[in-house]
Amino acid sequence: MEQKKLSVFSPPERVRLRKCAVIGCGNVGATVAYTLMQTGWFSEMVLIDIDTKKAEGEASDLAHGLPFHSPMDIYAGDYPDLSECGLIIITAGANQQRGETRMDLLRTNARIFQSIVEKITRYNRDAILLVVTNPVDVLTRVAYQVSGYPACRVIGSGTVLDTARLKQLVGSYLGVDSRNVHSFIIGEHGDSELVVWSSANVSGVDLHRYCDSCGRGYDKTVLDSLFREARDSAYQIIDAKGATYYAIAESVKRIVAAIVRDENTILPVSALVDGHYGLEDVFMSLPCILNRSGVKQVLEIPLNEEEENRLHRSARTLKGAFEELSEQPVH
């Protein structure tokens, strides 16, 4: 099937990429704001939360750290303040509880999300929307449908963090810098995701060959256990400390860097997949080229037969969840 390419939009003059917003000031949103405050990429950041006092407290706390960083205007605001924002990051939603899967969150967060996106579009129709709230793939699809934005400007954080977790675990197992480990976790950011072992490598050396050369031997059982640990680590962290927020904030920072610095970087974000691998009309993670227009291109990387079958199963899981949600309106 011929792949449908996402339309590429340049940011209109009426928005500024140096102005961003974070909607949701819980653990994730506050940590994202703190991480981005330190970069010097933005001249203005607005924080929005249903609890306005919480947003004001976070904004004040962050602003007090500005003498150690670049000048910036950080303040608590409301949806009219989204005017001119080039990037709007949505982290708002109910928290994932101990023993709760990401998909269990769907109905509650879909209701919250629809209300948020409707308010966003009253004041800004030209920004890039970056969705972080879980279950991120389905909620990114909700944001796309409710906003009416072009698909290239509606992005989910996807499996960027999952992939980073895998790189760290494999690097530790092999005794090599995790930045030199190259592989992707793709599909759902959740239980049906999959790792692309068939093209995994360590700085260009095939993973199978590298394992042999370092004396480890290529043990698929061990590698698959590392993948499962990466996939399930959020549940373990939530059980231990109640929430995950440091690593996801770093993942968001990496995605934001690709956008504001116009990098044309390849990251496995959640984007509209329509024509790739014979899949249609589903938001899920595949490697994507990101720049200041959003998703420039969704890439179709080589997969073996098992990996492609698992990708299709993941897509069916996500489409089923979205269809179930559509059958029971969230209004």
The residues, ordered by sequence, that sit 6+ positions from 198 with a Cβ below 8 Å of its Cβ are 302, 303, 304, 307
The CATH number covering residue 290 comes to: 3.90.110.10
Q: Please check whether residue 67 lies inside any domain of the structure.
A: yes
* Residue in 69, 189, 276, 312 annotated catalytic: 189
The CATH number covering residue 132 comes to: 3.40.50.720
Q: Please check whether residue 281 lies inside any domain of the structure.
A: yes
How open is the CA angle 301-273-291, to the nearest 5 degrees? 75
Are 170 and 292 in a shared domain? Answer: yes
For 18-84, give the DSSP string.
EEEEEE--SHHHHHHHHHHHTT---SEEEEE-SSHHHHHHHHHHHHTTGGGS---EEEE--GGGGTT
Are 112 and 216 in a shared domain? Answer: no
pLDDT in tens, the chain (331 residues): 445 556 555 555 678 999 999 999 999 999 999 999 999 999 999 999 999 999 999 999 999 999 999 999 999 999 999 999 999 999 998 776 666 665 666 888 888 899 999 999 999 999 999 999 999 999 999 999 999 999 999 999 999 999 999 999 999 999 999 999 999 999 999 999 999 999 999 999 999 999 989 888 889 999 999 999 999 999 899 899 988 999 999 999 999 999 999 999 999 999 999 999 999 999 999 999 999 999 999 999 999 999 999 999 999 999 998 888 776 655 4
Please report the sign of the dihedral spanned by the C-alpha atoms of residue 188, residue 25, residue 50, residue 260: negative
Are 191 and 319 in a shared domain? Answer: yes
Are 99 and 219 in a shared domain? Answer: no
Tokens for 65, please give them: 């750290």
* Domain's final residue, options 115, 139, 156: 156
Find the domain containing 234 and state its range: 160-324
Q: What's the domain count of the chain?
A: 2
CB 58 within 8 A of CB 25: yes
CB 312 within 8 A of CB 35: no
Does the active-site annotation cover 312? no
CB 301 within 8 A of CB 287: yes
From the number of C-beta atoms within 10 Å of its C-beta (0-12, 13-18, 19+), residue 257 rates as middle
CB 47 within 8 A of CB 55: yes
pTM for this predicted structure: 0.93
Are 288 and 178 in a shared domain? Answer: yes
Half-sphere exposure of 124 (CA within 13 A, CB side): 28
* Domain's final residue, options 156, 181, 201: 156
Residue with tokens 């068939």, as numbered in its chain? 198
CB 37 within 8 A of CB 74: yes
